[in-house]
């Protein structure tokens, strides 16, 4: 496989509303759609759309929502043979999208029966991939998979948006961590992004990448710090943009693109995803 992804899938209910929700207020629903999503699932969907061979390790519910997410990933060609189905409702999210800005608020639900642990990592799964991509959905499993992959000389990328013990372990254990903007600042206490990335950098970090939302993205590669501005588009829905960014980042990385070109492609692909509803809907 080119890419093995370990982490979240989701059944999303995307609701468009006229303005951000206000406590105690009321407003009409402009539209309501259901579609697949989830951090790692969306990244793998993107990788597969860009021609990479992908496999997913995660847990699906045995309900209709789980079936729909499985079918969507399988239709794109994502190998699901390492995944499991549990007797539980699939992970789901209610996503409120502001009609005017495309910004979203996410409410999610995850049944404890969907938990995966170290024992659920198949032998040789990560060692046989060119890239292993992890988030913090299954903490012990993600840390173990990242450790094994790096020990085998594989590329390890991340989807990290927290500052807890698991997030730190994934950032420090990856070869190419990809983080939300606030993460390196919180982890280091440094006042600016470049200084924070330099403080986090370890010898095995080939690149440290940060998504900056509508401002683009940044990267520390070796001793060089890059910032590439976002591509301007008419935003419909920002759901999944960071996950799509990571898929394009992985594609460009495996293609051998230079750091600045990796960021440009990832920015452009993420921007395109913002012109349509939902995460997996393009």
142-154 tens-digit pLDDT: 999 999 999 999 9
Q: Retrieve residue 156's tokens.
A: 């390890």
Closest CA to 38 of 16, 17, 65, 63: 65
Where do the domains of the chain lie, and which CATH numbers do they carry? 3-273 (3.40.1190.20)
Instruction: Find the distance separating the first CA and the last CA of the chain, reported in whole Å.
Output: 23
Strand pairing of 92-98 and 10-17? parallel
Contacts of 135 (CB under 8 A, 6+ apart): 6, 7, 8, 39, 40, 142, 158, 159, 160, 170
Token pair recorded at residue 35 = 């579609």
Residue 167 CA to residue 246 CA, distance in Å, equals: 17
Distances (CA, A) of 213 to 174, 179, 242, 255: 22, 11, 8, 24
pTM of the predicted model, to two decimals?
0.93
Q: Looking at residue 27, what is its pLDDT?
A: 87
| Residue 119 CB neighbour total at 10 angstroms | 8
Q: Name the residue among 139, 130, 191, 190 with its Cα closest to residue 160.
A: 139
Instruction: Provide the residue-wise pLDDT of the chain in tens; the chain has 282 residues.
Output: 999 999 999 998 988 899 887 888 888 899 898 989 999 999 999 999 999 999 999 999 999 999 999 999 999 999 999 999 999 999 999 988 888 788 878 888 889 999 999 999 998 999 999 999 999 999 999 999 999 999 999 999 999 988 889 999 999 999 999 999 999 999 999 999 999 999 999 999 999 999 999 899 999 999 999 999 999 988 887 888 999 999 999 999 999 999 999 999 999 999 998 888 766 765
Q: What does the alpha-carbon distance between residue 203 and residue 46 come to, in Å, rounded to a whole number? A: 29
Q: Which of 126, 135, 115, 11 is nearest to 66 (CA)?
A: 11
Backbone angles phi, psi at 193, to 5 degrees: -65, -45
Q: 15 Cβ partners below 8 Å, 6+ apart? A: 29, 31, 32, 94, 95, 96, 97
User: Nearest 5°: phi and psi at 12?
Assistant: -100, 135
């Amino acid at each position: 496989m080119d890419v093995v992804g370990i982490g979240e899938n989701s059944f999303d209910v995307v609701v468009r509303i006229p303005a951000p929700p206000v406590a105690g207020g009321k407003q009409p629903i402009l539209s309501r759609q259901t579609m697949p999503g989830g951090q790692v699932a969306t990244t793998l969907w993107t990788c597969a759309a860009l021609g990479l061979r992908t496999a997913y390790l995660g847990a699906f519910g045995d309900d209709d929502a789980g079936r729909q997410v499985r079918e969507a990933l399988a239709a794109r060609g994502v190998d699901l043979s390492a995944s499991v189905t549990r007797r539980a409702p699939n992970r789901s999210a209610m996503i409120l999208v502001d009609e005017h800005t495309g910004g979203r608020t996410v409410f999610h639900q995850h049944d404890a029966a969907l938990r995966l642990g170290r024992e659920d990592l198949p032998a040789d799964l990560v060692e046989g991939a060119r890239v292993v991509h992890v988030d913090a959905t299954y903490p012990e499993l993600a840390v173990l998979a990242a450790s094994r992959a790096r020990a085998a000389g594989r590329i390890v990328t991340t989807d990290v948006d927290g500052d807890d013990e698991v997030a730190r372990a994934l950032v420090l254990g990856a070869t190419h961590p990809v983080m939300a903007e606030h993460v390196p600042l919180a982890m280091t206490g440094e006042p600016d992004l470049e200084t924070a990335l330099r403080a986090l950098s370890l010898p095995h970090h080939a690149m440290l990448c940060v998504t900056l939302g509508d401002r683009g993205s940044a990267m520390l590669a070796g001793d060089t710090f890059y910032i590439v501005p976002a591509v301007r588009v008419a935003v419909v829905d920002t759901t999944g943009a960071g996950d799509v960014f990571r898929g394009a980042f992985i594609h460009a990385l495996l293609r051998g693109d230079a750091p600045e070109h990796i960021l440009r492609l990832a920015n452009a692909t993420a921007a395109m995803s913002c012109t349509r509803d939902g995460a997996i809907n393009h």
